[in-house]
Chain A
Amino acid sequence: MRRDLLLAWRRKSDVGTALLFFVIVASLFPLGIGAEPNLLRSIAPGVIWVAALLSSMLSLARLFAGDHADGTLEQMLLGAAPLGVVVSAKAAAHWLVSGLPLVAIAPLIALQYDVATPLYGVLALSLLLGTPVLSIIGAIGAALTLGLRGGGVLLSLLVLPLYVPVLILGAGAVEIAGAGLAPDGQLLLLGALLVVAAVFAPWASAAALRISLE
């Protein structure tokens, strides 16, 4: 994992691109549908979450591709560490690089959308709980499409339907908090989703990697 982070650090532009993508997608909506503050306020949670989904998905294709190209992945397959642990570490590194910056920058977008200040905490918390799920589930898709032609488009077709619960719960939490109700239920469900995904998904990703590499 440290190696992955180091590699990501050495290529800062990659991280920057994903982050910039997030910001640009989120800024496109006001330009497309008009800058009416009430409208913006009501669509803000959904837009921010969809932008987070897309930005996380874009960097997924590179999750295993680099290691696959230079043979490191095969070494990992043969190595002593269980493949599930390796996959979890890679997903965690992916999240630190692509998910965590989004959590940090989301309040800025929320500011642009004129979201009420008390909601920032809920938004950040929902992203904090939700984006790791995206990385973990996305790793399955990345492992399945490793080295396929048209992998990028196929990856989005496979992964986006699986992202739906995270999107609904994450955006729902912010919306409910905006309506003046307690978002605990949605946030707890997001947390449960994270735990379940963290336990079972690396297992599926490891199986998918073995299939892709044999």
Chain B
Amino acid sequence: MTAQSNRWFWFASPQTFFPLAATIARAAAVLAVLFGVAGLYVGLFVAPTDATQGEAYRIIFIHVPAAWMSMFLYVLMAFWAAIGLAMNTRLSALMARALAPTGALFTFIALWTGSFWGKPTWGTWWVWDARLTSELILLFLYFGFMALQASIDEPRRADRAGAVLALVGVVNVPIIYFSVQWWNTLHQGASVSLTKSPSMAATMLLGMLLMALSFWMYSIAVAMVRVRCLIREDHE
């Protein structure tokens, strides 16, 4: 192995990663608070009132970033699981394990705030529509992953079995999403897309992006703290 690749894998070892994780966790936590305060300020005080939905729309600043994170974290978890399975690196499996509860939390928040948002605007807490249903199934997938890992005593087997499940799940997520799209849908289309200009005021978008950054930093901070706990447990 060359010196270059040695440096590349330097932080792949739990021992060397342990102190780094603490630094990252601290920095990410500070950033999460900063972005969160800025995002809430923009979202609650600066952004204009929505023409059709009134003030109720402001929950978007929690709802949409949480929904983004819930899906992104699952993909990230599957990515670490795949790395762990392919390269047999202990830390990757620990990362996947550390991300799962945060992902489940954001999925739950997205569902919960969505239901709060749905009550005043649609007049109902819950509808069986495409997005809601696929988000709910995503929550079940997270629970399945955590339950499988929790019920296997031997950590190596738990990591690898969980990795297979996460990968099967990540293949299934688009299938589930498209299969439920066959139903008539009440959920509004995506407000933000990369291909066309956003259909909302710039300040609303700014608030949402700030909140998304805040959630992102929060996820990093929490995952790092959790991975430190897992490394500790591992060495006992």
Q: Which segment of B16-24, B108-116, B174-182, B188-196 sits at the interface?
A: B174-182
Interface size on A, residues (CB 8 A): 28
Interface assignment of B171: CB less than 8 Å from any CB of chain A: yes
| Contacting residues, chain A, for B175 (C-beta < 8 A) | 165, 193
Given B147, B157, B171, which contacts A157 in the complex, CB threshold below 8 Å? B147
- Given contacts A208-B161, A212-B161, A214-B157, whether A161 and B144 have CB atoms under 8 Å apart is yes
Residue of B nearest to A211 (CB): B160
Please give 10 more A-B residue pairs, beta carbons under 8 A apart, in addition to A211-B160, A212-B161: A140-B164, A140-B165, A149-B151, A154-B147, A158-B147, A161-B144, A165-B179, A168-B183, A193-B175, A204-B168
User: Chain A interface (Cβ within 8 Å of chain B)?
Assistant: 140, 144-145, 148-150, 154, 157-158, 160-162, 164-165, 168-169, 172, 186, 189, 193, 200-201, 204, 207-208, 211-212, 214
Contacts of B15 in A (CB 8 A): none
Main secondary structure of the interface of A (DSSP, over half): helix
Number of B interface residues at 8 Å Cβ cutoff, please give it.
Answer: 26
Q: A148-B152, A149-B151, A165-B179 are in contact. Are A208 and B141 (CB under 8 A)?
A: no
| Cβ-neighbour of B141 out of A154, A161, A204 (below 8 A) | A161
Give the most central of B144, B147, B165: most A CB within 10 Å.
Answer: B144
Question: Do the beta carbons of B152 and A172 come within 8 Å of each other?
Answer: no
25 A-B contact pairs sorted by A residue (CB < 8 Å)? A140-B168, A144-B161, A144-B164, A148-B151, A149-B151, A154-B151, A158-B147, A161-B140, A161-B141, A164-B179, A164-B180, A165-B172, A165-B175, A165-B176, A168-B179, A168-B182, A168-B183, A189-B179, A201-B168, A204-B167, A207-B164, A208-B164, A211-B161, A211-B164, A212-B161
- Contact (Cβ within 8 A) A161 B151: no
